[in-house]
Amino acid sequence: MTTPIRNIAIFLCDLTGIMASPWVEAGYQVILVDPQHPAGTHTDGQITRVGHVIDHPESWRVIREVIATGRIAFVAGFPPCTDLAVSGARWFEAKRKIDPAVQFKAMHVVWQCQMIGELSGAPWFAENPVSQISSFWRKPDHTFSPEYFTGYCADDNYSKKTCLWIGGGFVMPDKFRDVTLGPPDDRIHKAPPGPDRANFRSATPHGFARAVFLANHPHHVVSDIAA
């Protein structure tokens, strides 16, 4: 029996597609699931966008079908941090008064990312800033800040402590920092209020995306993947 080539990567709660970019460049098919994409399922070349939350019948149909192929190479999840990040702790009590289950609902998305990663049989991670995930689930396996990987992208010379919960043999990439850039800035903390603030603050650093790909892709020849 021929072992299927693992040439599909899944990215959950991913609007920008930054994390997927190195995989696309290498010839992988990628699936981006995020409610901010246009509703429904739309494929453009190697990229399929599912415009729903994870816990939606259409999202699960797509995920279930690709997992059944045995071709998943990687899974990354970026569950929303609004109701979990300790930076917003001063609003937690008010949110709980409105909806006592608000943080359980947020953790449900985290656990969905974990479950899909585990079902895929591939390396996976779930990402969040410092948050109550550590209390509701477990401590993170790794932490990083964007400036750790400025050797891949000089524009990422900013600080933001970020946590990773991992599985499936995920390999944490080594730091590759461009020390000529000087100290990192704090653009994340100084981001002005507005409708785009959350997306700006949560966007994946390009250097980190490249580093993770190099440490975790299955090292197939690109022509074999695309075939």
DSSP string, 151-182: TT-GGG-B---EEEEEETT--PPPP---GGG-
The whole-angstrom distance between residue 187's C-alpha and the CA centroid of its chain comes to 20
| Model confidence pLDDT, tens digit, residues 94-152 | 777 776 667 767 888 999 999 999 999 999 999 998 888 888 899 999 999 999 999 99
**Domains of the chain by residue range:** 8-219
What is residue 190's predicted lDDT score, i.e. its pLDDT? Answer: 60
Say whether domain 8-219 belongs to CATH 3.40.50.
yes
Separation between Cα atoms, residue 11 and residue 182, nearest integer Å: 32
**What pLDDT digit, counting tens, does each position of 30-51 carry?**
999 999 999 999 999 999 999 9
Q: What is the DSSP letter of 38?
A: P
What is the mean predicted confidence (pLDDT) over 4-30? Answer: 95
**Reported confidence tier of residue 200, pLDDT bands at 50, 70, 90:** very low
Distance from C-alpha of 29 to C-alpha of 46, rounded to nearest angstrom: 5
Position 227 scores a pLDDT of 39
